[in-house]
Amino acid sequence: MRQRGSGGSGEGGSVSKRIYMSSPDVTELERDYLLGALASGWVAPLGPDVDAFEREMAEYVGRSHAVALSSGTAALHLALLAHGIGRGDVVLTSSMTFAATTNAILYTGAVPFFVDSEATSGNIDPAGVHEAIHRLAERGLRPAALLPVDLLGRCAAYEDLQPVADDLGVPLISDAAESLGASRSGRRAGSYGHSAAVSFNGNKIMTTSGGGMLLTDDPMIAERARYLATQARQPVAHYEHTEIGYNYRLSNLLAAFGRAQLARLPEMLVRRRAIRERYRQLFRTHEGVRVLGGDDREDNCWLTSIVVDPTVTGWTGAELSSWLGEDDIESRPLWKPMHLQPAYEAYDVVVNGNAEYLFRHGLTLPSGSVLTEDDLERVTTRIVDFLESR
């Protein structure tokens, strides 16, 4: 039952299937958990698998509380609301991220203040955070929260960021959507900050097909998030609502699926790290190409991206991507920074040029734990052919 990214045949001979960057890694264990949940009768939202999934995830990450939700975006939205972020507030956040981070801020009525990246990791630049705070102070303002993003499975520099939030007296909310299974200084992703959000989207390191979780050590934050996630329904027999809520809870069936994925997470981490090392060795002798992130020992290696300096290599990441695409192998640029997006370009930003450089010259390669050795051989052979052709 394991889902594969390539392989197979059709009439008239072998047919190569598309290789995706990060397909779901699904086995018989997920089926067994899902069928068990169906047999239990708990098909509607909530149920014993949701409760168990929350306990198991909180224990894995090292948190006191977890709230299973319909998406990582929902987790970010509720974390912000539960911390009192609302209309007119300013939230410092990463420019190099997926739009969901920014949208969650805007859902609350707050506004983002984007901060550029560190060159090595692509994560939010602590020096830029200080610059943003200085700029706000000049206008008689201060941020209401700090929301850094763990890019592609590498934890941000929380040892630098948390003291900043503490000095300001504001919450640090970690967008750990991409970093589950990673760690920094021995602490697991999702354990940093006053609250954190993780994602179980279909392309993440583990999935519930769609889903996410809010993680916190504060029982009041967890209670508030659960209340808002169930349409803010009052605890009375009839339907009573005194404020606006949301339909954000995770279903019992998807939670069962997630419990199986969490049990298999260690093996999926091992596979992704092995794939990262394969790419690192492939490009080791090629000047002008580096694997984004530096030291991999604590990364989850969710996605492996390379950064290409075309003035040295004589070729671009876009040219390699086109070459791979001719063999039906998926690749893509790094995130287009939020401050360059038409929907968000009017908001404040501290720019150092790193995020734009990474977007222009970065390329993400197939990285999923579901990739077979044949898949990986097909990808790396294609890359070698490209390098030799140049």
CATH of residue 327: 3.90.1150.10
Are 282 and 231 in the same domain? no
Per-residue model confidence (pLDDT) at position 147: 98
Question: Which residues does 74 contact at the CB level (< 8 Å), separation at least 6?
Answer: 212, 229, 246, 248
Are 56 and 76 in the same domain? yes
Q: Write down which residue in 203, 227, 262 finishes a domain.
A: 262
Residue 235 confidence class, pLDDT cut points 50, 70, 90: confident
Flag whether pLDDT at 254 surpasses 70. yes
Q: Is residue 2 a part of any domain in this protein?
A: no
Are 83 and 69 in the same domain? yes
Are 229 and 292 in the same domain? no
Are 13 and 36 in the same domain? no
Are 96 and 125 in the same domain? yes
Q: How many CB atoms lie within 10 A of CB 281?
A: 11
Average pLDDT, the chain: 94
Q: Write down which residue in 242, 262, 282 finishes a domain.
A: 262
What is the residue range of 285's domain? Answer: 9-24+265-389
Q: Write down which residue in 262, 291, 313 finishes a domain.
A: 262
CA distance 84 to 376: 46
Are 202 and 220 in the same domain? yes
For the segment 2-27, the average pLDDT, to the nearest whole number, is 66
- We report the CATH number of the domain holding residue 124 as 3.40.640.10
* Percent of the chain at pLDDT exceeding 90: 90
Q: Is residue 4 a part of any domain in this protein?
A: no
Are 237 and 94 in the same domain? yes
The residue ranges of DSSP E strands in 11-144, in sequence order, are: 13-14, 65-69, 90-94, 111-115
Flag whether pLDDT at 146 surpasses 50. yes
Q: Is residue 1 a part of any domain in this protein?
A: no
The total domain count for the chain is: 2
Residue 56 confidence class, pLDDT cut points 50, 70, 90: very high
Are 18 and 94 in the same domain? no
Per-residue model confidence (pLDDT) at position 172: 98
Residue 322 confidence class, pLDDT cut points 50, 70, 90: very high
Per-residue model confidence (pLDDT) at position 294: 77
Are 372 and 240 in the same domain? no
Are 34 and 20 in the same domain? no
Q: What is the pTM of this model?
A: 0.93
Flag whether pLDDT at 319 surpasses 80. yes
Give 17-29 pLDDT, tens digit per residue.
Answer: 999 999 999 999 9
Are 275 and 307 in the same domain? yes
